[in-house]
């Protein structure tokens, strides 16, 4: 039985398919699947749209005519928010981080879609990034003082309300798994890229809520401690606000795997780029260099180095984000696609 979901506005094309990765399964000896949440839409693609269905429903319910959120320059969440706002007739402001706010990067990838959607962009630098919520609040006050009504969305929509999008994805996945041989009797390792921590929090809540026999594993692609803290915060808020008291336990129900951040968030090594080439040619699956590329590469390395930590059946959550491929990304044009390691 479905839980009493908060109000939702339909934005995502769901259900998304569960795809068997036959060649990778043969190569690794594991039964590998990918949940194609990169297919939730075109511009409005990825798992962020699932979160926004609930967050923007609350914004509309509060009669907001403007939304504001934040991210890095190639933020999937910011891009999805800008496009969803346009679809719903809302104005959108974005606080985006870049190297030099006085000389922001030219529009490309997600940033280009922000511009196309008409988002008003406020640039901040790395030193200002820790104060992003306060900066957004000040911009929202200015909008309100000018006669608007602004709704503030946290970084990544990573709060308990946004987590309902991932919980709903787990209800969908339960049906997917039920149709496989052995159904829900077969243990599963559920693996996702972990950036802001919201997806890891929501998936682990949903897996517990719907009785999916899965341990949820995040592959760290950003600040490790921030992700851990966010997951705990979302779990506590979900218990307090929505009564989801069956809180997942770290180590038993979910965990975060470190060691695959590489050069840093949104920075790619030649080996990471070559891996994206390889998977596109091997499975026809397009990954992005910030989230899913690092995470799937990390998963395959973990399967080789620590196979006992995983169930034989594995589901990788493709959270989308391919637009970063369409930028002047260092290494993308220099990687050697013939070196498939």
pLDDT above 60 for 54: yes
Q: Which of 2, 22, 75, 189 is catalytic?
A: 75
Claim: this prediction has a pTM higher than 0.75: yes
Q: Residue 267's CB: how many other CB atoms inside 10 A?
A: 14
Residue-wise pLDDT for 134-163, tens only, equals: 999 999 999 999 999 999 999 999 999 999
Tokens of 77: 């969440």
Structure tokens at 95: 């606080």
pLDDT of residue 245: 87
Residue with tokens 């709704």: 151
Whole-number pLDDT of residue 3? 82
Of residues 83, 129, 101, the one with CA closest to residue 265: 129
Q: Is 63 a catalytic residue?
A: no
Residues 6 or more apart whose CB falls under 8 angstroms from that of 291 comprise 76, 193, 195, 221, 319, 321
Helix residue ranges per DSSP H, 100-197: 109-116, 132-145, 160-178
Residue 107 is classified by DSSP as: P
pLDDT digit string (tens) for 182-199? 999 999 999 999 999 999
Q: How does residue 2 score in pLDDT terms, banded at 50, 70 and 90?
A: confident
Residues 55-67, mean pLDDT to the nearest whole number: 98
Domain annotation for the chain: domains and CATH numbers: 18-45+158-326 (3.40.50.1100), 48-157 (3.40.50.1100)
3-state secondary structure of 36: strand
């Amino acid at each position: 039985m479905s839980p009493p979901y908060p109000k939702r506005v339909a934005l995502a094309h769901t259900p998304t398919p569960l795809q068997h990765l036959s060649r990778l399964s043969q190569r690794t000896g594991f039964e590998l699947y990918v949940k194609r949440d990169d297919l939730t839409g075109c511009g409005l693609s990825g798992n962020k749209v699932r979160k926004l269905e609930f967050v923007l429903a609350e914004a509309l319910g509060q009669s907001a005519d403007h939304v504001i959120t934040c991210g890095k320059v190639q933020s999937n969440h910011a891009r999805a928010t800008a496009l969803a706002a346009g679809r719903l007739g809302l104005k959108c402001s974005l606080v985006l981080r870049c190297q030099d706010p006085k000389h922001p990067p030219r529009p490309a990838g997600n940033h280009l879609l922000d511009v196309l959607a008409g988002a008003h962009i406020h640039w901040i630098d790395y030193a200002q990034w820790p104060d992003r919520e306060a900066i957004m609040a000040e911009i929202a006050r200015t909008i309100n003082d000018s006669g608007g009504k602004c709704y503030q969305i946290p970084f990544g929509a990573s709060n308990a309300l946004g987590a309902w999008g991932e919980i709903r994805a787990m209800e969908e996945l339960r049906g997917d798994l039920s149709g496989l041989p052995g159904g829900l009797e077969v243990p599963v390792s559920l693996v996702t890229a972990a950036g802001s921590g919201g997806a890891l929090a929501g998936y682990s809540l949903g897996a517990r809520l719907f009785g999916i026999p899965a341990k949820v594993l995040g592959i760290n692609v950003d600040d490790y401690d921030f992700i851990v803290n966010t997951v705990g915060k979302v779990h506590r808020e979900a218990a307090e606000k929505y009564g989801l008291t069956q809180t997942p336990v770290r180590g038993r129900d979910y965990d975060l795997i470190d060691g695959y951040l590489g050069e840093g968030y949104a920075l790619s090594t030649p080996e990471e780029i070559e891996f994206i080439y390889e998977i596109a040619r091997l499975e026809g699956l397009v990954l992005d260099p910030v989230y899913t590329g690092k995470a799937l590469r990390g998963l395959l390395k973990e399967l080789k180095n620590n196979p006992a930590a995983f169930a034989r059946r594995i589901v990788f959550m493709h959270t989308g984000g391919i637009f970063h491929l369409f930028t002047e990304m260092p290494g993308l044009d220099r990687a050697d696609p013939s070196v498939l390691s």
